[in-house]
Amino acid sequence: MRILIAGDLFVSDQYYKNNIIDKSIQDLFSSADYRIINLEAPITDDRSGNKIIKTGPHLRMSEQTAISVLKQLKIDGVTLANNHILDYGTKGLLDTFDTLKSDEVAYVGAGTNLKDAAKYITLNKEGVKIAVINFCENEWSIAEEDSPGANPMDIIDNANQIKEAKATHDKVIVIVHGGHEYYNLPSPRMQKQYRFYAEQGADIVVGHHTHCISGNEVHKGVPIYYSLGNFLFTSQSTIEDWYTGLVLEVNIEKGNLTTQLHPVEQQKETFELSLLNGKKREDIMKRISKYNAIIADEEKLKNEWDNYVDTKYDVYLNYWSPFSFISNRYVRGVFNRLGIKGLNKKGIVLALNLMRCEAHADMSKEVNKKYLKG
């Protein structure tokens, strides 16, 4: 069985009639038994009234654009557990389900409630059964017990999902949407967590979300790919990594699982997508080898993480500044330019304890959710 897994897909309507998927990509996808991609936006109408309150942009794809791309790639299934799938609320997600069902595209990682969102899908060929489980970090898209959304990252629940699938399937593929955007390595916490999923019975763990490629490792016989990067994402970016991605090929034969990476590239202006070959491919593979060497050394990984935290120090401290809650961005800008944060150690001690202590984190999340609903 030959399975292709790709990262984030988002195509805006202006590229609907543009032939931006190169034949090299189409040939690769045509040669597989199953093709899975991350659908990074709901398929729904552009109705601003359906937008949820959230941080970050709202993404959506029209039915004509989404289905056209999915058909070109012969996509069999999409992962929906990501941070944008609920951007247009319940209506947007239910529209997505209806469109995918009508076009016979399977989906995993989202559902009409929390229990439904946790269901896996099964790939079956000649009696070999492969389960695909999908979940994402906890942002604005998560399902509740009585409302639609994505399957959340919850270590205990995720472990139980893996074990349940493992009991009735030959192999289990775990696809996680998470990580730090534009950072090419996992955090030490991520590595520990993804390794744990491997120990719970996953036969391969695959990540995306960061909009950049990362490295991989084999933990106790289980391959872990920390980020495939973007596949096709038609938004302009000043970050070079935005335009490079990886398609992961998973081959399962006679109980053995092997993998191969296929680097891809989007053109900056046209977003034409093609397979990389020659020196460009070699350069990407060399980069991945460097990431792999860091991932294999926990001390180096921790050092890289500490350096990355330093680059984000001011950004995250500013989130806790009382001036960050001023709605007028010009007034906020004045305080920023003057270097006035309005912070003190007593306030940061409280913030840290509210995040770090499990009991306080429980209460903080519930109170904030109730406030937003009110």
Q: What is the pLDDT of residue 322?
A: 83
Both tokens of 192, joined, read: 């520990």
pLDDT for residue 318: 86
Residues 63/15, Cβ–Cβ less than 8 Å: no
> Does CATH place domain 2-297 in 3.60.21?
yes
Q: What are the pLDDT digits (tens) for 81-140?
A: 999 999 999 999 999 999 999 999 999 999 999 999 999 999 999 999 999 999 999 999
Contacts of 357 (CB under 8 A, 6+ apart): none
Find out whether 185 and 226 touch, Cβ atoms under 8 Å: yes
Predicted pLDDT of residue 59? 98
Q: What is the pTM of this model?
A: 0.96
pLDDT reported for residue 138: 98
Provide CB contacts within 8 A for 101, sequence distance 6+: none
pLDDT at 45: 94
pLDDT for 333 equals: 78
Torsion of CA 121, 125, 129, 130, to 10 degrees: -50
Three-class DSSP category at 188: helix
Per the document, the length of the chain is 374
pLDDT score, position 256: 97
pLDDT-flagged residues of the chain (< 70): none
Predicted local distance difference test score (pLDDT) of residue 350: 94
Task: Break the chain into its structural domains and give their ranges.
Answer: 2-297, 305-373
User: 86-114 in b/e burial notation, b at 16+ Cβ within 10 A?
Assistant: bbbbeebbebbbebbeeeebbbbbbbbeb
Residue 23 backbone class (left: φ over 0; alpha: ψ -120 to 50; beta: rest)? alpha
